[in-house]
A and B are shown apart, each in its own frame.
Chain A
């Protein structure tokens, strides 16, 4: 079973920040938090990952709580092209497989 819990769907207005939450209360000390997204019928795409510090790249920011039991993916200025299913995954860096949950379906509203 997936080790994370995400809301099944969220809406966000175009141009606003999209904040996607993820609960991973059983995360182990050596597990990273990864985020992927899947745009309709395409293969999932890597977004960002982190261990305990907040991370930012050209696509998004990842905020991990101090106790590491939850995290938030932030898309700072959502566009219609960000409409997708977003998956939060915890994974040991050298682990050999990922089990996907259902993810969050993000709708960007014009």
Chain B
């Protein structure tokens, strides 16, 4: 979607390795979010940010950390990837009035 990009789009990694996913926006929005989506669970919020260096936990934050050192970038890190973290990860941005804009997703496979 215009204004928000995720990288990488696909990644295969081994159990126990660290992984960082990047979300980049050009809209200067304050709020940014990371969701994961698995069959049977829908979209679940992992972490979110309401400003530079201001982040908070979502529904399923265990095993994940985030950082936001500048407005445009929100990083999601899996410190030691596990097979249960195999999922599709979506980043989203939100202005204060309009709805969310989602990225195209990152498909992560942990083997």
Contact = CB atoms under 8 A, between A and B. Distances in A.
A86 to B, nearest CB: 12
A46 B43 contact: no
Nearest to B1: A43
Contacts of A21: none
Interface residues of A, number: 20
Interface in B63-98: 88, 90, 92, 94, 96-98
Interface of B: 1, 31, 33, 35, 42-45, 48, 50, 56, 58-59, 88, 90, 92, 94, 96-105
B97 A93 contact: yes
A87 B90 CA distance: 16
B98 A46 contact: yes
Contacts of B100: 36, 44, 46, 98
Contacts of B88: 41
Q: Is the interface of A mostly helix, strand, loop or mixed?
A: loop
Contacts of A100: 35, 42-45
Nearest to A101: B42
A103 B99 CA distance: 17
B58 A97 contact: yes
A34 B45 contact: no
Nearest to B35: A100
Contacts of A44: 43, 90, 92, 100, 102
A41 to B, nearest CB: 7
Contact of B45 (A42, A99, A101): A99
20 contacts: A34-B99, A36-B99, A43-B1, A44-B43, A44-B90, A44-B92, A44-B102, A45-B102, A46-B98, A46-B99, A49-B98, A49-B99, A93-B96, A96-B56, A97-B58, A98-B33, A100-B42, A100-B43, A100-B45, A102-B42
